[in-house]
Every structure is written in structure tokens, then in C-alpha cells.
Amino acid sequence: MRFEELSDSEVMMMPDSVFGRRWWSKVHLSPEIGTLWAMAADSLPERAVIWEAGCHSASSGPANLSVAYRLGQVVAVTTAEFVAMEELFATWRGIGQEEGAVNISQAGGQYRFPMRHPVRTASRRLVVSVTNSGAALVEVDVGILLSSWPSGEVPAYLL
């Protein structure tokens, strides 16, 4: 039996070892006050599993950040363009002020959101929006930890 013959839910029940190497797709921003958008340099695989979403911020004082993740081919230059992109985590609706956003309201820190989230990216890239409504200068790294979707024969010990 091949992985391609299995449903997404059947593949997601497989042990972590079948998904292979994991890597980060990330961006670095320095938003002062207002919103900045950025796009990761690397295209995501056609099908992937996201294992973690993360954000690391460093600031000189209290900050109020809203971080949102999308899939796209270009860097957004307006909020309308960003909102029109496909949400990467539609299930996060209601967590932040912006749909699908995470709010961070302290002076720096590391935020990690573990998950096991299958995604079809159509070879698009990670596009993020970071809004800073606080008064401190902020350095922000935002990314996702992912691996490719397994392919080929399912190991016999798993059948």
C-alpha cells in the first residue's frame, strides 16, 4: 500500500517518523508602530504537515503585537491584500483581534504553538502580518516548523 492511497486522516495517525526531516520557514521583521507584512524566502512543499507555529519577540519595553499567518505568492502591501490571502490556521479565529491572529502583550518572549496540522499549500509561501500597537521598538521572528507529506510505500510494520 502507498501513502498516496490513504486519506489525510489515516496518514495523520501514522507515527512521526514517517514524515521525515523538519525545518523552519520563517521571517524576521522590525515593526515600530503600525503593521508590517513579510514573506518567507522559500516555497512550501505542495503538501506538508505543520508541527509548530512560533513567534519570538524582543522589545525595549511593553509591546502589543498581533501576529497572523497566511499563504500567498506575493508580499501584501495593504491589509485588504493580506486578508484576501488564504488563512493558514482558520481554526484560530477569535484568538486575536484579527481573525486567525495571536496577540502578544508583554516585553518580548518566545511563543510556541505545537500542533499536527496537514496543509495543501500549492507551493505558496508563508506570509505574515505583524501589527505593533505598543510603544516599544520590537524585533520579531515568526515561523512554522514543517515537514513534507510522506510518499511511497507504507512500511510493512505499520500495516
CATH number at 41 reads 2.60.120
Q: What is the mean pLDDT of the chain?
A: 84
Q: Is 106 inside a domain boundary?
A: yes
- CA triple 140-34-78, angle to 5 deg: 100
Q: Is residue 159 part of a domain?
A: no
| Overall number of domains in the chain | 1
Distance in angstroms (rounded) separating the CA atoms of residues 72 and 83: 11
Q: Place 159 in a pLDDT band, splitting at 50, 70 and 90.
A: confident
What pLDDT, in 10s, does the model give residues 78-137? 889 998 999 888 765 544 445 556 766 666 678 888 889 999 998 899 999 888 877 676
Classified as helix, coil or strand, 91 is helix
Q: How far is CA 129 from the centre of its chain?
A: 11
Whether residue 157 lies inside any domain: the answer is no
Q: Could you tell me if residue 112 is inside a domain?
A: yes
Q: Are the CB atoms for 73 and 131 separated by under 8 Å?
A: no
Radius of gyration of the chain (CA): 17
Tell me whether residue 15 is in a domain: yes
Residue 113's CB is within 10 A of a number of other CB atoms, namely 15
Reference 98, options 109, 111, 89; nearest CA is 89
Which region among 1-15, 58-72, 84-98 has the lowest average model confidence (pLDDT)? Answer: 84-98
> What is the average per-residue pLDDT within 56-80?
84
Does residue 111 fall inside a structural domain?
A: yes
Give me the domain span that covers residue 101.
Answer: 3-152
Residue 158 covered by a domain: no
Per the structure block, which three cell numbers stand in for 6? 490513504
pLDDT reported for residue 158: 84
CB 74 within 8 A of CB 57: no
Average pLDDT score over residue span 26-44: 87
Q: Is residue 74 part of a domain?
A: yes
